[in-house]
Amino acid sequence: MNTKTQNRRFVVIGGVTAGINAAKAVKRYDPDTEVVVLEKREFIAYDTSSLPYYIANVMEDHRQLIELTPERASQELHIDVWTRHEAMAIYPAENRVIVLDRETGEEKTLSYDALMIATGGVPIAPPIPGINLPNIFQIRTLADGINLKQYMVEHAPSKVTIIGGGYLGLEMAEACNALGMEVTILEKFGNIMGSMGSEITALIETDLREHQVHLLKDVSLKSFEDVDGKCGHVMTDGEQHRLETEIVIIAIGVRPEIALARGAGIEIGNTGAISINTSSQTSIENIYAGGDCTEVTHLVSGEKTYLPLATTAHKQGWVAGRNIVDPGCCVFKGAVGTSVTKVFDLEIARTGLSLMEAKRLGFEATTATISADSRVKTYPGNETITITLILDKKSKRLLGAEMGGREGVAKRIDVFATALYNQMTIREIAQLDLSYSPPYAPPWDPILIAANAGIKKLI
Ligand SMILES: Cc1cc2nc3c(=O)[nH]c(=O)nc-3n(C[C@H](O)[C@H](O)[C@H](O)COP(=O)(O)OP(=O)(O)OC[C@H]3O[C@@H](n4cnc5c(N)ncnc54)[C@H](O)[C@@H]3O)c2cc1C
């Protein structure tokens, strides 16, 4: 059924990634639908993933991160953007949203025919003494990035403590190191990068040492010590460190922002995020959702999971918009959890399940690790790539891949992501016709070498 009609109104809550994709899709496929985007903050449609590079001055001006301003959205796409407007409540039975104008304090009611919840994620803040001191930062929004950069320019801190050794903590460590700061990373667990295997995390740890970044593992935060109204020391449990610091950056993950959805009676999944179907539809027919406030099906495990990544947010948003115009026209089946991170000179990537995740899910999992050349050995620029494959002994299928190296990693991981999407066995991956030319790859690409090592492991 095609629902294109005149005088429909589509309201989007949240104007960064998923929300803007949905708004654009509706306008592209049904220009007659009125589209209103509510964004409680100042900026819309920016690239959050570039924030560490903005802090490091790779991108000097915050405007370089902005893809679309409210003015251009209105003039070029005919999307009506209400910035500094916060959705306070949704009344699904009446198709109404209550909106607060944060500048004037005025409350407005907005009716809708279809609604999109794209409220994103909220950075997790540890509830410990001193958390509100003014030199403690979290980085989630463009405004957070601008504030942090301004603080760094005004105070020129020389020592930073980063809480969390995940990808964001590592990206921020590189950014702060580039600005000349002494960097310490605190990681609560014995492993950085979540559940990634030690073959790859060992490469990262070596790289951190080479760049004089201190990494303290297995230490948990106890408190932030107030020295003249600022955090002067970070106190830890365990080994009882008292770390002198001039600035703290917390990067310990995000949780889905679901208050509005919960208040509207929309189903929340076991992951704690909004439950949606493959059309990005929630449990209420004309309310859609996508991005970091929602869960996604993991295509390797088949389970619902929480994977707050821009890759998924873009697709879920676009699919929501397409389905609002033409219900049932397209689907987003799910994700395999592919990501890549730059850590100084290293490219670190993963897709699918880690060994720990696979075992937890009940797979009879094993690993195969290889190191191989990124180009023909004698061609200048050749570097070593390390690959760990996670394999299912029973089905002989690939369950996941982790890679690290100084070049050639970022896009090679996508071959494994494609293999996972298609549930390929390790023997099928070993048959792939991958390109070869000395400046780019050896005739036996590291992917094929890894797949053959995987076959041997499964015999
Ligand atoms: C520093 C950093 C680096 C990252 N790097 C990568 C990367 O390299 N690759 C990758 O795939 N992902 C990366 N991510 C994750 C990626 O940025 C997110 O997955 C993506 O931005 C999620 O988009 P979203 O639209 O769901 O939510 P958000 O970007 O969180 O946007 C939600 C918006 O909703 C607004 N909002 C919330 N509640 C209301 C309300 N009641 N009324 C009105 N507005 C509201 C918020 O103000 C916010 O602007 C990174 C994230 C960070 C923080």
DSSP labels, 261-296: HHHTT--B-TTSSB---TTSB-SSTTEEE-STTB-E
> What is the structure's pLDDT at 2?
45
> Hey, whose CA ends up nearest to atom 29 of ligand 1?
16
pLDDT in tens, 435-459: 999 999 999 999 999 999 999 999 8
Identify residue 351 by its one-letter amino acid code: T
Q: How many residues does the chain have?
A: 459
**Cβ < 6 A, ligand 1 pocket:** 13-19, 38-41, 48-49, 51-52, 86-87, 118-121, 139-141, 168, 257, 260, 291-292, 308-311, 313
Neighbouring CB atoms inside 10 A of 185's CB total: 25
Q: How far apart are CA 303 and CA 336, in angstroms?
A: 11
Sign of CA dihedral 307, 309, 315, 321: positive
Backbone torsions φ then ψ of 432, nearest 5 degrees = -65, 140
First-to-last alpha carbon distance for the chain, in angstroms, is: 52
- Spatial neighbors of 42 by CB under 8 A, at least 6 apart, are 83, 84, 143
> What is the structure's pLDDT at 5?
54
> What is the structure's pLDDT at 239?
65
Say how many Å lie between the CA of residue 137 and the centre of ligand 1: 17
CA distances from 377 to 5, 221, 413 (A): 61, 45, 21
> What is the structure's pLDDT at 259?
98
Q: How far apart are CA 299 and CA 337, in angstroms?
A: 9
Strand order in the sheet with 339-343: 339-343, 346-352, 398-405, 384-392, 365-373
Structure tokens at 283: 């449990």
Structure tokens at 281: 């539809």
pLDDT in tens, 218-247: 998 999 999 999 999 999 986 678 999 999
> Hey, whose CA ends up nearest to atom 41 of ligand 1?
87
Say how many Å lie between the CA of residue 347 and the centre of ligand 1: 23
> What is the structure's pLDDT at 6?
59
> What is the structure's pLDDT at 240?
77
Q: How far apart are CA 75 and CA 70, in angstroms?
A: 9
- Spatial neighbors of 314 by CB under 8 A, at least 6 apart, are 17, 18, 21
Q: Are 340 and 409 in contact (CB under 8 A)?
A: yes
> Hey, whose CA ends up nearest to atom 26 of ligand 1?
291
pTM metric for this prediction: 0.96
Say how many Å lie between the CA of residue 198 and the centre of ligand 1: 29
> What is the structure's pLDDT at 1?
37
Residues of the chain scoring pLDDT < 70? 1-6, 238-239
Say how many Å lie between the CA of residue 127 and the centre of ligand 1: 22
Q: How far apart are CA 172 and CA 293, in angstroms?
A: 24
> Hey, whose CA ends up nearest to atom 2 of ligand 1?
49
**Best substitution site from 46, 66, 119 to test ligand 1's pocket, by max atoms within 8 Å of Cβ?**
119
Which ligand 1 atom sits closest to the C-alpha of 20?
Answer: 25
Say how many Å lie between the CA of residue 26 and the centre of ligand 1: 20
Q: Crossing angle for the helix pair 167-178 and 198-210, nearest 10 degrees?
A: 20
